[in-house]
Amino acid sequence: MKEVIVAKSAGFCFGVKRAVEQVYEQVEKNKEQSIYTFGPIIHNEEVVKDLEKKGVKVIETEEELSNLKEGIVIIRSHGVAKYIYQLLEKNNITIIDATCPFVRKIHTIVEKESSKGSEVIIIGNKKHPEVQGIVGWSKTPATVIENVEEIDQLTISHEKKVCIVSQTTFNYKKFQVLVENIEKKGYDINVLNTICNATQERQVEAKEIASQVDAMLVIGGRHSSNTQKLFEICKNECENTYYLQTLKDLNPDWVKDKQRVGITAGASTPNNIIEEVQTNV
């Protein structure tokens, strides 16, 4: 008999659930108005496709956004730079702000600390929309660091105070290592661990399950940063770790003859997808 262990923390986190619910709420309330999200509301293709069927359009570029003259724009859970709000307000576009409260907290910290003259270091992926949004709240030039090599290239004056924050979904252990290496540079630093508690819990639980099973399945959108990090963590513990977006991606050979199979999922993965995979393992 195969044993399947599903992570209790798998699936929608608070911020994602809140953002998705806000979009569906707007669809119900505003039948006559055009509804847009700036970028996909979450990094999950199934959810985005379902919203498109209901008439929600995804705006991908700032140019498209600045050309908009009517409708409702929903700011996704990743958040955006401050000037995006100003651009929409200038065009009298209705804004529904679905920024995750944990991300919003980072915006507030960065704006406040940079206003005091501190240099801001953001530990995260510079290509990720959440990080790009955080950069856009700093009043001083913000530096994004993802690996130790980038620390060697820091050119911040030692006379400046340095405020360090993190992308909410960053790997906690990597964050600690990077902070320790920045400390060696001798800066006057103020470290704020802004990794979301739910992210930490999810990573710890995934690691624990992966260490106990014969195969590990990590479910999530291919562009989901937090799912990619879960995959890395699980792969370190269990060689037979596989990444899938939906049941369609499940290869039966992955779990055939395996006595214990673990399942976890990123913060943008709906419960019905997790349940479908669990049922078919």
Tell me the pLDDT band of 63, cut-offs 50, 70 and 90: very high
Residues 267 and 188 in one domain: no
pLDDT beyond 80 at 1: no
pTM of the complete model: 0.85
Q: What was the pLDDT predicted at 200?
A: 87
pLDDT, tens digit, 9 for 90 and up, residues 176-208? 999 999 999 999 999 999 999 888 899 999 999
Average pLDDT along the chain: 93
Return the bridge partners of 72, or none.
Answer: 35, 94
Catalytic residues, which ones? Answer: 130
pLDDT beyond 90 at 4: yes
Residues 94 and 77 in one domain: yes
Residues 116 and 145 in one domain: yes
Pairwise pLDDT comparison (3 vs 44), residue with the higher score: 3
Average pLDDT over residues 84-107: 95
Residues 68 and 114 in one domain: no
CATH label of the domain that carries residue 41: 3.40.50.11270
Q: What was the pLDDT predicted at 116?
A: 95
Q: What was the pLDDT predicted at 181?
A: 94
Domain that holds residue 171: 102-195
Q: What was the pLDDT predicted at 213?
A: 97
Give the end of a domain, one of 99, 131, 166: 99
What distance in Å separates the CA atoms of residue 242 and residue 227, rounded to the nearest whole number?
A: 11
pLDDT beyond 80 at 47: yes
What beta strand segments (E) does 52-138 contain?
57-59, 72-75, 94-97, 119-123
Residues 57 and 94 in one domain: yes
Tell me the pLDDT band of 255, cut-offs 50, 70 and 90: very high
Q: What was the pLDDT predicted at 219?
A: 96
Residues 151 and 168 in one domain: yes
% of the chain residues with pLDDT over 70: 100
Residues 131 and 93 in one domain: no
Backbone phi, psi, residue 224, to 5°: -80, 115
CA distances from 98 to 147, 199, 218 (A): 30, 18, 26
Maximum distance among all Cα pairs of the chain, rounded to whole angstroms = 64
What distance in Å separates the CA atoms of residue 79 and residue 133, rounded to the nearest whole number?
A: 6
Residues 124 and 183 in one domain: yes
pLDDT, tens digit, 9 for 90 and up, residues 104-139? 999 999 999 999 999 999 999 999 999 999 999 999
Residues 134 and 179 in one domain: yes
Residues 184 and 140 in one domain: yes
CATH label of the domain that carries residue 205: 3.40.1010.20
> In this structure, are residues 276 and 20 in contact, taking their beta carbons and an 8 Å threshold?
no
Tell me the pLDDT band of 232, cut-offs 50, 70 and 90: very high
Number of domains within the chain: 3
**The residue to which tokens 């979904």 are assigned:** 169
Give the end of a domain, one of 195, 213, 246: 195
Give the end of a domain, one of 147, 168, 195: 195
Average pLDDT over residues 69-91: 94
Q: Are strands 35-38 and 57-59 parallel, antiparallel or unpaired?
A: parallel
Residues 85 and 109 in one domain: no
Residues 166 and 140 in one domain: yes
Tell me the pLDDT band of 155, cut-offs 50, 70 and 90: confident
